[in-house]
Amino acid sequence: MNRRENGGDPVIRDPKLAAIARKVDAGERLDLEDGLACLETRDLFALGRIADAAARRKSGDRVYYVLNRQLNPTNLCVLRCKFCDFAARPGDDHAYELSLDEALAHGGEDIDEIHIVSGLHPSWPFERYVEIMRALKDRWPDLPIKAWTAVEIDWFTRIAKKSVDEIFDILIAAGLATMPGGGAEVFSDRIRRELYPTKMGHDRWFEIHRTAHAKGIPSNCTLLYGHIETFEERIRHLIRVRELQDETGGFLSFVPLEYQVGTTRLVERGASASDSLRTVAASRLMLDNFDHVKAYWVMLGEETASVALNFGADDIDGTIVEEKIAHFARAESPVGLTQRRILKLIREAGKKPVRRDALYHVLETHDEDDTHAHSVSQL
Ligand code: V47
């Protein structure tokens, strides 16, 4: 195969990837078969190069990160999703509810995003969730709040007996800037029936994100992969979210979440590093209308996340400080990363770190490589 026939890359061994490279070069949209070829290929490095080229067309050699903290006000939850180690029932050993002061302690002038995700508490009124946002906003008016997955928004409509529209109006007045992409899981009715039959349906997830976008609130979309889903279900998930992005343009970032086996043990072992890298690359290549694909280090682990920055990801999330959802599920990654460590992971991938806020406003670019000026123990 010569250079012209395989999309300009002399060493693409997989002919399906060569065809994908040609399509990407020509700006053609990939279809289900292409997505499957990305997940099935054994030509991992060629896939990485194609996805990296696509990422570079969006972001150059920049990789975004954010100084952030996660706040999970409670893990008490009325749902029993079969993949989740975080949720608790009243009386469970690991159940907790943060007081308002404890929740407030997660804010600060040192961060550019507070990311709030909660359980669906059996008795908290809607006002309790709003109160947390208002208290944060009163204290740190400039701190962008990224809060509540669509599942919580749906819960708020039920406990407050209000429409999605009305709930958003209240949350926006309380300081909502953007929404995380959780609760999407896998857009497959089969998976929903098997793993989270009592959670709201996927159509509702789309309705809520569509409403958020119409109200000027951008959001993310996640994919929970590496459990019982098929490759086809992964790719159909990408195609479905791509359709809403065509319609609204309101998504900021796509976030593949690697299932943490923890005690839920839907499968014996989680996704391999190469499966995760293929999933990141497939996401980048299928989602031609998304600006950002995230390598979420908490679930990928630092090393795979750093490699994923050469497989189509242009964002590594942030410092986080204390993460609970993956760590209750026994994630092996640390509970938080220092800014210095994040800079090192990005630079070791050969990319330029760019500090952003929750809405991807650029706050700082780091041109000087000071990674090696510090000993490993400080990193
Ligand atoms: O929807 C639960 C997932 C999500 C497990 O938008 C698990 O930037 C892996 O929304 N293994 C909530 N995942 C977290 C979330 C999120 C996280 C990071 C970045 C962003 C973003 C959003 O956590 C849930 C569910 O899919 N989850 N249990 C588990 N065992």
SS (H, E, C) 123-172: CCCHHHHHHHHHHHHHHCCCCCEEECCHHHHHHHHHHHCCCHHHHHHHHH
Question: Residue 321 has what pLDDT?
Answer: 82
329 lines ligand 1 (CB under 6 A): yes
3-class SS at 366? coil
Q: Whose CA is nearest to atom 10 of ligand 1?
A: 182
pLDDT one-digit tens code per residue, 233-252:
999 999 999 999 999 999 99
143 lines ligand 1 (CB under 6 A): no
Q: Tell me how far apart the alpha carbons of residues 136 and 176 are, in angstroms, rounded to a whole number.
A: 11
User: Is 72 a residue whose pLDDT tops 90?
Assistant: yes
Residue range 267-274: average pLDDT?
96
User: Which tokens go with 71?
Assistant: 């706040």
Q: How far is the CA of 205 from the centre of ligand 1 (A)?
A: 14
Position in ligand 1 atom list of the atom nearest CA 181: 6
Domain range summary for the chain, segments of one domain joined by +: 15-58, 59-378
Q: Are strands 292-293 and 251-258 parallel, antiparallel or unpaired?
A: parallel
147 lines ligand 1 (CB under 6 A): no
Q: Output the average pLDDT for the chain.
A: 94
Question: Residue 79 has what pLDDT?
Answer: 97
Position in ligand 1 atom list of the atom nearest CA 146: 6
Question: Residue 48 has what pLDDT?
Answer: 98
pLDDT one-digit tens code per residue, 100-148:
999 999 999 999 999 999 999 999 999 999 999 999 999 999 999 999 9
Contact (CB, 8 A) for 35 and 236: no
Q: How far is the CA of 5 from the centre of ligand 1 (A)?
A: 41
Q: Are strands 352-356 and 362-365 parallel, antiparallel or unpaired?
A: antiparallel
For 59-378, which CATH class?
alpha beta
Between vectors from CA 276 to CA 203 and to CA 111, what angle results, nearest 5°? 75
Question: Residue 336 has what pLDDT?
Answer: 85
218 lines ligand 1 (CB under 6 A): no
Q: Whose CA is nearest to atom 13 of ligand 1?
A: 259
Contact (CB, 8 A) for 179 and 148: yes
pLDDT one-digit tens code per residue, 314-367:
999 999 887 888 888 888 888 888 999 999 999 999 999 999 999 999 999 997
Contact (CB, 8 A) for 359 and 178: yes
Q: What is the pTM of this model?
A: 0.95
220 lines ligand 1 (CB under 6 A): yes
